[in-house]
Structure 1
Amino acid sequence: MTSTALLTDHTALLTDHYELTMLQASLPDGTADRRSVFELFARRLPDGRRFGVVAGIGRVLDAIAQFRFTDEDLAFLRERKVVDGPTLDWLADYRFRGNVWGYPEGEAYFPQSPILVVEGTFGEAVLLETLLLSILNHDSAIASAAARMTAAAGERPCIEMGSRRTHEMAAVASARAAYVAGFATTSNLEAGRRYGIPTAGTSAHSFTLLHDTERDAFTAQVESLGVGTTLLVDTYDVAEAVRVGIEVAGTSLGAVRLDSGDLPLLAKQVRRQLDELGATGTKIVVTSDLDEYAIAGLAAAPVDGYGVGTSLVTGSGHPTCGFVYKLVARADGLDDDATMISVAKASKDKISIGGRKYALRRLDAQGTATAEVLGIGEPPRGDDNDRPLLVPLVEGGERVYDETLDVARDRLRSSLAELPLQARQLSRGEPAIPTVFEGKASEGAR
């Protein structure tokens, strides 16, 4: 299913005050109409990470389409005196009519990768800065963490269950990003309705505590949901709960869930007990504050699936990607044929490189990625084995990219399969491949 709605009906005020004051100050002298190129990128990966994952592109395109200033929005800006009358008139007619190129959803990225390239007038492009950063910093952080978790889980499925650990709307976006990164299901019903993600869930400890006995609770659940359900077996005594669960549901019980304790040890004990009771097909699902390291630590345990919450929706220690949105080129005048010149802030610690970028994933003869190659001002040189990364997303203000989340999931699998083996290591390290520039950067760029 493609994304069909965002978190609000319109998105124009999901921005910062200074975006509008920059617009106001650039309107009188005409510089608001200068053709401009902005790029969204990360100067570096989160500390110790070897790759990042792009997620949220579909949500970004929804947000751009819905970026309109309603009468209520304009009344608010007028009442607060955020901008003057001519600027309000300009905003009343705002429509993004430029072009957007970007990495497609599910692609791996590296330092300086031009995740988005936004081409338009300064006025129309600068207004999108905060909203684009807000969506992509969040969604890509979740997907990047989720990709590490699914890599650690291998063929065992991961269940997204972090809704109660984040903002209610962030929970929906997190479920979407996790699904892109390979999670099998989500507990969030709104994510299921909005994006077609499979949903799953059975019961919590409160359901067991509600009943007079654990047997009563299990009986009610099995009678309602069938023997294929998952019983939560660590409310009281795990071994006794497993025994009662099999007595109630029979040896065809779908699964048992462990939510506390020494999970590797408990999983072994429960697996042995299930097998002795004849429930050899009953699976074991574990939860309890899991992250990619805990999942990796359970690799040798007889576990069949993982439920992940807090660590996922907080980016497993990195809740943002550090993306920035910078002007990298602008016209040297207002004429349609004015020369485009590269621009960049001169800074020793905040590295930006001027000039419109083009991106290529360089692959060796075996199809393994060796570099992220960025051409400045023109596409980098490549051969038949290399892979261009930027695709058109918006042309002349019209959306031209609309892929399903399943396509994004497949893309991520292929993208990660191209990377060197060390990319999948959870130990801290440098980016899996270097970023290489071709072409001449602007003066003042660092």
Structure 2
Amino acid sequence: MSTADLGLPVDVPSTALFTDRYELTMLQAALRSGAAHRRSVFETFTRRLPEGRRYGVVAGTGRVLDAVENFRFDGAVLDFLARESVVDDPTLEWLAGYRFTGDIWGYPEGEVYFPGSPVLRVEGSFAEAVVLETVILSILNHDSAIAAAASRMAVAAGDRPLMDMGARRTHELAAVAASRAAYIGGFRSSSNLAAGFRYGLPTIGTSAHAFTLVHDTERDAFTAQVESLGRGTTLLVDTYDVATAVRTAVEVAGPELGSVRIDSGDLLLLAHRVRQQLDDLGARQTKIVVTSDLDEYAIASLASAPVDAYGVGTALVTGSGNPTCSMVYKLVARAASDAPDAPLVPVAKKAVGGKTSVGGRKWAARRLDEEGVAEAEVIGTGEIPPELRDRLLQVPLVHKGEITGREPLAAARDRHVQSRALLPLSATQLSQGDPVLPVETR
């Protein structure tokens, strides 16, 4: 896979420098002490969901697998590390041959999660696992935040399609990742052509206000667009007077006009007025698309309006106020010695201030009640109870360094719909509340 497929600048040959310096300085010291080669288990989890959220959504797993596969220290990267005196020569020599050879398990992409859920588990030597911390967290924290916001918006929208229009509201590479995550969360299309190219997402887009303004009249603009794109196009009707624009749009395109877009004003009131006007003009099949700084609350407020689709920008790509999931990557177990068959010993940070973690390699399962509705997230380090063995959440993603967990993006999207459907109905409430499932530890 090329760097372009990862959404990287063409002059970045690998993902190896998507890391923090202290990971490499830890590596150097661990190589010197001998601890670098100890078998270790790292887990990614969050201690809490964003305020008021009922569930989280795992997204970015596919991008993590790509990043792990492309985590290589080539000549240019090694020269940089040497020039900046980041690590010593023995460490540079070790990095030159780096390739992850361990195992990775995790919640499949699109699955929901809760506080403490071990959404990703990385097993290998301390050296090869510790350097992956930042790249894994940067992907999962960003993509899962976007997917969770998208999921809430999809719930609010119901059967009405959602379109990602956030590319101009975030970093250019983040915009591509956001489009992918939004698709997993329930969006149907994106305005971002790079996302369409890299991930096969359906793309949408017609014109902005500048197109209308550059023409002498609104009629001239509509005529040019219809002649170029056909009667099924979407005409933007709020550059000047909405009612006049709608009338002109139907006169130019006829009742076959595909859609009109409203991007400002009182959307609830305008949607009703425009629907009535379109019907009176005989354009009963013409759809109404609304944009203008929408979030899940604004979308929910338009549930009774005659709106056919929503375009969402800023709120989507910023996680609707929660741009990160606050996931962490913690060492939870290590071998008792350097011996290949040494048993694993649970380890965990013990500190004041709520930043403690639970040691031991964990399994996770979701228990259902008699009606098939999820009632608890069960996490344990010991033997798995027989009644939960068919409800385990973690799946193999990497085995001995080989990627095993790749899947079509549509599979993650479908999985999220199915996973969310098993949650209690209160999961879909937009009001403030606690996580919809309790987390039990065994």
> Are 1:363 and 2:368 an aligned pair?
yes
Deviates more, 1:346-355 or 1:201-210: 346-355
- Equivalent in the alignment of 1:11: 15
The corresponding residue for 2:400 is 396
Are the counterparts in 2 of residues 4 and 62 from structure 1 also a CA contact under 8 Å? no
* C-alpha distance in structure 2 between counterparts of 1:46 and 1:280, whole Å: 42
3-state DSSP class of the match of 1:68? coil
CA distance in 2, matches of 1:430, 1:4: 40
Decide which of 407, 410, 415 is 1:411's aligned counterpart. 415
Query: How many angstroms apart in 2 are the aligned matches of 1:147 and 1:240?
Result: 36
TM-score normalised by structure 1 residue count? 0.96
Query: Helix, strand or coil for the counterpart of 1:5?
Result: helix
Matching residue within 307, 314, 322 for 1:310? 314
1:296 aligns with 2:300: yes
- 3-state SS of the aligned residue for 1:327? strand
Query: Does structure 1 conserve the Cα–Cα contact (< 8 Å) formed by 2:332 and 2:359?
Result: yes
Q: 1:30 aligns with which of 22, 30, 34?
A: 34
Matched residues in 1 for 2:298 and 2:351: separation? 40
Gaps of at least 5 residues in structure 2 are none
Change (3 A) 1:377 1:124: farther
Q: What's the CA shift for 1:331?
A: 0.4
**Aligned residue type for 2:424:** P
Q: Secondary structure at the match of 2:33?
A: coil
Q: Secondary structure at the match of 2:6?
A: coil
1:207 has 2:211 as partner: yes
CA contact (8 A) 1:290 1:307 kept: yes
Q: Distance in 2 between matches of 1:295 and 1:318?
A: 18
The one-letter code sitting in structure 2 at the alignment partner of 1:357 is K
Q: Which structure 2 residues correspond to residues 41-52 of structure 1 after superposition, within 5 A?
A: 41-52=45-56
Q: Which of 407, 431, 434 is the aligned partner of 2:438?
A: 434
What is the 5 A alignment of 1:20-419? 20-348=24-352, 349-383=354-388, 387-419=391-423
Q: Is this contact kept in 2: 1:357–1:378, CA < 8 A?
A: no
Deviation at 1:377, TM superposition (A): 4.0
Displacement over 2 Å in runs of 4+: 377-384
- Corresponding letter in the other structure for 1:347: A
Match of 1:235, SS state, is: coil
TM-score, normalised relative to structure 2 = 0.97
**Alpha-carbon offset, residue 365 of structure 1:** 1.6
Q: Secondary structure at the match of 1:199?
A: coil
Check conservation: 2:366, 2:388, Cα contact below 8 A: no
Superposition deviation, residue 30 in structure 1: 1.0
Report SS of the residue matched to 1:279. coil
For the 8 Å contact 2:365–2:388, the answer to whether it is kept is no
Q: Give the match for residue 444 of structure 1.
A: none
Counterpart-to-counterpart distance in 1, 2:391 and 2:61: 19
Which residues of structure 1 form unaligned runs of 5+? 439-446
The amino acid of 2:421's aligned partner reads A
State the secondary structure of the residue aligned to 1:278: coil
For 1:149 and 1:170, the matched residues in 2 are separated by 19
User: What amino acid is the match of 1:311?
Assistant: A
Residues in 2 aligned to 1:290 and 1:379: alpha-carbon distance in whole angstroms? 44
Q: In the aligned structure 2, how far is the partner of 1:148 from the partner of 1:302? A: 20
C-alpha distance in structure 1 between counterparts of 2:238 and 2:117, whole Å:
46
Quote the offset at 1:7 in angstroms. 2.2
Partner Cα separation in structure 1 for residue 393 and residue 220 of structure 2: 56
Aligned-pair identity in percent equals 66
Query: What residue in structure 2 maps to residue 443 of structure 1?
Result: none
Residue type at the aligned position of 1:382: E
SS at structure 2 position matched to 1:326: strand
Return the letter of the residue paired with 1:181.
G
RMSD between aligned residues? 1.1
Shift of 1:191: 0.3
Report how far residue 380 of structure 1 moved.
4.5
1:131 maps to amino acid: V
Q: Following TM superposition, by how much is the alpha carbon of 1:242 offset from its aligned partner in structure 2, in angstroms?
A: 0.2
How many residues are aligned here?
A: 435
Alignment partner of 2:72: what SS?
coil
Query: Does the residue aligned with 1:329 lie in a helix, a strand or coil?
Result: strand
